């Protein structure tokens, strides 16, 4: 019997606004209800007691985007926020290239998304408009990645135990998970995106291929990745840095390399 397969993806800073006041139950609502309340209480304190510089520094945005972020935070604190499914809310490069509206509900439920506000959700769970990065410090909780780590990891273990988990998280979000602890109970596969010569790529191009790669994993599984190619990107064979083995065994590492478009 094949292992269940999940994909860890980051949220996007770009988000669609709007939604519905009514919301469906999310996969982690029960497990993470208490720490989520702590985060909302800390945001309420920030709005009430923080000066404009502290609020701007915490929300990490400026100008018109800061105005939207402050209004969204007020809506969360006052419990008048609107909800969209995470796959509808997140509109950044990774999510655009994932093309989630063409995935099934079951496939979207196998996408797990860590976030500073909610800890973790599936791509099918309801998410409000918000601005709260995982690598900020929020008084009195401290660094959010450190705050969430002992809370997210046990919740994910209940979700992941015995499964294969493909980790596509950047460092900011991966630091909120105990990946070694998860690896003791499930098969964690870490994926890196590099240039020829093993220099890690960041920015738009790495985000684009990450979305395309996640989509192929969800649709066709890890064993399909031997043939993964997209705009000059391809999975390195096992002997050159780790990819799916000929026997179909799940590796611990997959390296996706950009060698340039022909």
Tell me what pLDDT residue 2 has: 63
Structure tokens at 210: 């990450």
Residue 203 has pLDDT above 70, yes or no: yes
CA dihedral 22, 24, 27, 29 (to 10 degrees): 40
Please tell me which residue, 30 or 252, carries the higher pLDDT value. 30
- Average pLDDT of the segment spanning 215-230: 93
How far is residue 47's CA from residue 77's CA, in Å, rounded to a whole number? 9
Tell me what pLDDT residue 3 has: 79
Q: pLDDT per residue over 123-163, tens digit each?
A: 999 999 999 999 999 999 999 999 999 999 999 998 888 89
Residue 9 has pLDDT above 80, yes or no: yes
Q: pLDDT per residue over 68-91, tens digit each?
A: 999 999 999 999 999 999 999 999
Average pLDDT, the chain: 91
Residue 53 has pLDDT above 90, yes or no: yes
pLDDT band at 244 (very low <50, low <70, confident <90, very high): very low
- Average pLDDT of the segment spanning 94-110: 97
**Of 39-53, 190-204, 237-251, which gets the smallest average pLDDT?**
237-251
* 5: Cβ contacts below 8 Å, ≥ 6 apart: 110, 163, 164, 165, 166, 217, 218, 221, 222
Give the pairing of strands 137-138 and 142-143: antiparallel
Provide the residue ranges of all domains of the chain, joining segments of one domain with +. 5-258
Residue 1 has pLDDT above 60, yes or no: no
Structure tokens at 40: 């909302």
Strand arrangement, sheet containing 119-122? 119-122, 111-115, 5-8, 164-167, 187-195, 253-258, 233-235, 229-230
């Amino acid at each position: 019997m094949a292992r269940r397969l999940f994909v860890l993806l980051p949220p996007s800073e770009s988000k669609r606004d709007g939604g519905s006041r009514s919301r469906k139950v999310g996969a982690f609502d029960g497990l993470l209800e208490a720490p989520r309340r702590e985060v909302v209480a800390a945001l309420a304190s920030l709005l009430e007691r923080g000066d404009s510089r502290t609020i701007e520094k915490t929300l990490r945005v400026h100008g018109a985007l800061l105005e939207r972020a402050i209004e969204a935070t007020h809506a969360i604190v006052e419990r008048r926020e609107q909800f969209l499914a995470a796959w509808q809310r997140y509109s950044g490069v990774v999510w655009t290239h994932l093309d989630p509206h063409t995935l099934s509900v079951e496939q979207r439920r196998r996408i797990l998304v860590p976030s500073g506000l909610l800890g973790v959700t599936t791509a099918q769970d309801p998410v409000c408009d918000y601005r709260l990065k995982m690598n900020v410090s929020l008084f009195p909780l401290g660094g959010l990645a450190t705050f969430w780590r002992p809370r997210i990891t046990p919740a994910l273990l209940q979700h992941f135990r015995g499964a294969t988990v493909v980790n596509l998280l950047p460092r900011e979000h991966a630091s909120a998970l105990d990946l070694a602890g998860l690896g003791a109970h499930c098969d964690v596969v870490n994926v890196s995106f590099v240039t020829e010569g093993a220099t890690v790529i960041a920015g738009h191009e790495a985000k684009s291929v990450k979305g395309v790669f996640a989509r192929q994993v969800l649709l066709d599984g890890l064993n399909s990745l031997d043939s993964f190619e997209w705009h000059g990107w391809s999975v390195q064979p096992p002997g050159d840095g780790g990819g799916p083995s000929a026997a179909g065994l799940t590796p611990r590492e997959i390296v996706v390399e950009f060698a340039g478009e022909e």
